[in-house]
Amino acid sequence: MNTTPAPLTAPNWAKLGVIFGFVGALSILLWGPIGVSGTYPRLIGEFFRAFDPSYAETNPYLVRMGSLLRPETFLVLGLVIGGFLGARRDVEKAPKVEMPHVVATSDARRYTEAFLAGFLILFGARLAGGCTSGLIISGMTQLSIAGFVFAAGVFATGIGTAKLMQALRAGN
């Protein structure tokens, strides 16, 4: 039975948090609050504008979210670069497939879970109007009520699901 590896806590999480706080404030000063999940429907919008323009023009959500040509899209591209640059500072490479629950499963099952999880986080984020960055970080930074409500919901089922997965896997 595999168990999770020793904690991978970054010892400097507090310093990194302070820097991230200033980065978020700088973003609001320069162009607007950070946010990631809105880029997904803008990508879907570009797809429909290319292959089914009449649908793109009549779907009110795609019309409202608009084009990919805006700072948030470049922010998402920056995330890939930042992740790549950050990983270069690690001696050990990030695992290709990581088993997040206490007991490991097959790679195929992990991919299936990651896909299903991706579906849920984006569906939930688009329903709420933002994700961890746009609603929790930027929302609470700006003292928006929506940010606090969303965070409460995320951690309620997030903690519940994590504990449930642990109990289910331990039972097998």
Partner 1 sequence: MANIYGLIIGIAMGFLIQRVRASSPAVILQNLRLENLSIIKFMAMTIAVGMMVTYTLNLFIPNLLHFDIKPTYLLGVLLGGLIFGVGFGLGGYCPGTCVVGIGEGRRDAWFALGGGIVGTLVFTLVYTSVIQPIVAVMDFGRITVQDLLHVPAIVPALVIGVLFLVVIKLLPTEIKQA
In the window 48-107, what residues touch partner 1 (CB under 8 A)?
A: 59-62, 69-87, 89, 93-102
- Contact assessment for residue 34 and residue 134, using Cβ atoms and an 8 Å cutoff: yes
Choose among 97, 102, 100: nearest CA to 172. Answer: 102
Give the whole-angstrom CA distance, residue 131 versus residue 23.
18
Residue from 1, 8, 50, 91 in contact with partner 1 (CB under 8 A):
8
Nearer to partner 1, 43 or 57 (CB): 43
Residue from 2, 30, 105, 106 in contact with partner 1 (CB under 8 A):
30
Which residues in 111-140 contact partner 1 (CB under 8 A)? 111-140
Which residues in 148-167 contact partner 1 (CB under 8 A)? 148-166
Count the site residues for partner 1 by CB under 8 A. 125
Choose among 78, 64, 45: nearest CA to 129. Answer: 64
- Contact assessment for residue 35 and residue 130, using Cβ atoms and an 8 Å cutoff: yes
